[in-house]
Structure 1
Amino acid sequence: MLTGHNDVVNNQSRPVARRHHTVPRFYLQGFSEAGKIATVRLPGDQRFPQSVGDAAVAKDFYAVDGHPDGPDVIEKALSEIEGLAAAVFKKIAGGSWPLGHEDRMTLGYFVALQATRVPVQRNTMDYLAAQMLRLQIGASGKTGLRKQLEEHGLEVSDDIVEEVWEQMTRPQGPPVKRPKTVHIEQMLDLSGKLIPYLVGRPWSLVRFERRSLILSDAPVGLVAHTNDKWGMGVGFMTAWGITFPLSRKAGLLMNSVEPQIELGVPVEKVHQGRADWVQDGTAKMEKFFNFHTVQGASEWLFHHPDDEKYVPTDLPNPRPVTLQMSGGPPEFDGEQWFTGGDTKDASTG
């Protein structure tokens, strides 16, 4: 359950923040010029400049209605974390590398949080909930659906059953929107669990002189192993590497742990930056970073006004969710999958 943050001051005189950046403003500024950032909407047909203050903004995205510290308590807490991360970004830009243990943990948590706080994560949670409900309703058949509606005190006609059936069993599932707090809880929990898979990797800082990096609305890129012939997907634990553009001229590559395991390097030394290094930003490395940035994007790409040439030409369509359900039927015929039992069990799980 969400609780108050002791480090967040409950200042009743301060206006409630309602425009929430899902990609932090300070982070966007590293890809901007004079407060402006170029924006591309996938698949690339819409391109326009906008203010950094307007990019990656959603109204009340992290709002928690009724919280004793105010509805923007999470937004304020995120702002404090962003302030700590911005200080680490500044150190890196000033030439500090490798990072000390505390700064490494701060940056690692910031990356983990950026992977979990974005809209595509919330969309995916809603999508999965919709698909599970679709499967439950579809398996119970129209008879089970009718019984469920009647148990809610509704007068049910055949036309109503057909209308609700079509809505509940469509391929995208019923229109399910879980409470925002469900995503916020997951964001706070999962970001902490992801840290070991980030800070335990050897990090390389890639600095670019002639070429530039772009950013997306979901900027953490997962790099699959080259021997992944089956396309089974990649996660934070199984990824060969993880990309994270720090600015248009610097990128963080969290490399494979396999060499460290083979050499028997203790994870404590990795945490101290003993396995980290600096790389020159080649054309190949720019394409590598920008490719994975695009692959991780949901709907938006961002770049410096002078860097349009570094946006790949072959862009995908928007991807509102990070995965798709498979193995279930594309449509249901209205018949119960199971007989001889209570249809309520099949329709409610």
Structure 2
Amino acid sequence: MTLRHALGGGEVVGKRVRRQHTVSKFYLKGFANDSGYIRRVSLPGQPSIPLSIGDASVIKDFYTVTLPDGTQSDLFEKEFSKIESLAAEALAGILADTWPIVGKHRAALATWVALQHLRSEDVRANHGNFSAEMIRLIVGVSGKEALRSLIQKAEARIVSDEELDWEWRDITKLGGPDLVPTANQHVRLLMNLLPGTSAYLHDCHWTLFRFARRSIATSDHPVSLVVAPDHPDWQGVGIATAELFLVPLSRRTVLTIQPRRRLSSSSIDASLVPDFIKEGTTSIARSINQGIAARARKYIYHHPDESPLDGLYMPLPETRARLAASNASELIREEGLFYGMTDKQLRGLGTVTPPGESDRGMTIDDLPWPFPGRRSRNRD
């Protein structure tokens, strides 16, 4: 299933608002009581309220895509439910003491873990931040007159100096223009990355921790990407750089997924190392719960009759502030980075090139105007 296919069909929902879950309901059952209730803790610790798993992690129209004719479709929510159904079967086997899991069950759970990570608010926000940074760089190196040309061509009108000054300041400010990634953009990214991410996780080394008495929490971002202690602060954390993927599966079970390259040595063939199962301890449970709290975005979920967060540090709600493109600032010039450059210097350019030089890389002429997802531009 691709976004192109989806945009050609699917159930049309018009203007009807749909309540869509960013965390699977079948998954949250593992942290709920017999009545289907969990406790939702808002960072940094209050309020703490019991609520139904059907009301947890709900965001209106989070996966509703806009079709070419302007109508809306919830097709992807239905596609996700198919993945969830297979993963629920695999999870039920694990919770019934089946380990290791192989074949279709391993593939189903790997796909769900990948989906659960990729469909998160974090991934959507980070994609928007990256797009904003790229727009800032491309416009900044092209210069104000190139920006004027882009707007005038798209809107078929004359752009005044005052308007151009405002647009330039807003687009080239630290972090770039304020973008709100759309469901279409997020789903396109998700569908592009899902097959490769699923296969990558499938081939990793899996370890299952079981806890007899200690309770485990989860969050609105239940797949935590953990890095090594020596991971550089300036380097982002992603699928390729994560040392470990931490996934609570229930209030008594935690899955860790580790790239096999981390196990390799001169005396060990990592491909032959079997999946492990370990008994969890109090210290391990505490460490896991602290990590879950640290990587939550807004909410932590746990069994309503237990207190796995007692004594832990509760961070502020995560705003995921965009990365500062400090290295790009020196490339941004009103006259354009390429002003006064010789042909020889231009031939040595990389991916961002002067307007009209599309054969060398991406230029401002390749940007759509207005920028998709840009917040309302109030020039007052």
TM-score of the aligned structures, taking structure 2 as reference length: 0.76
- Retained in 2: the 8 A contact 1:124–1:323? no
Return the offset for 1:335.
4.3
Return the offset for 1:119.
1.9
What percentage of residue pairs aligned between the two structures are identical? 32
Equivalent in the alignment of 1:337: 337
Equivalent in the alignment of 1:72: 74
Relative to 1, partners in 2 of residues 1:298 and 1:321: Cα closer, same or farther, differing over 3 Å? farther
Equivalent in the alignment of 2:191: 188
Q: Output the CA distance in 1 between the equivalents of 2:64 and 2:173.
A: 31
Return the offset for 1:60.
2.1
Equivalent in the alignment of 2:309: 310
Unmatched 5+ residue regions in structure 2? 342-352, 357-362, 367-380
Q: May I ask how many residue pairs the two structures share in their alignment?
A: 338
1:243-322 superposed matches below 5 A: 243-255=246-258, 257=260, 258-259=262-263, 262=266, 265=269, 267=271, 275-310=274-309, 312-320=312-320
Matched, 1:201 2:204: yes
TM-score of the aligned structures, taking structure 1 as reference length: 0.82
Q: Output the CA distance in 1 between the equivalents of 2:47 and 2:286.
A: 22
Q: Output the CA distance in 2 between the equivalents of 1:331 and 1:44.
A: 43
Return the offset for 1:177.
4.0
Equivalent in the alignment of 1:120: 122
Return the offset for 1:79.
0.9
1:25-72, Cα deviation, whole Å (9 max, x unpaired): 11112222323222233344544333211211122222234499x822
1:209-228 superposed matches below 5 A: 209-228=212-231
Equivalent in the alignment of 2:57: 56
Return the offset for 1:217.
1.8
- The residue type paired with residue 144 of structure 2 is K
Equivalent in the alignment of 2:370: none
SS of the counterpart of 1:254? strand
Unmatched 5+ residue regions in structure 1? none
- Retained in 2: the 8 A contact 1:121–1:321? no
Equivalent in the alignment of 1:164: 167
Relative to 1, partners in 2 of residues 1:123 and 1:232: Cα closer, same or farther, differing over 3 Å? closer
- The residue type paired with residue 20 of structure 2 is H
Return the offset for 1:327.
2.1
- Retained in 2: the 8 A contact 1:41–1:300? yes
Return the offset for 1:286.
1.2
Q: Output the CA distance in 2 between the equivalents of 1:229 and 1:60.
A: 37
- The residue type paired with residue 28 of structure 1 is L
Relative to 1, partners in 2 of residues 1:340 and 1:266: Cα closer, same or farther, differing over 3 Å? closer
Return the offset for 1:233.
4.3
Structure 1 residues 84-93 or 235-244, which shifts more?
Answer: 235-244
RMSD, aligned CA: 3.4
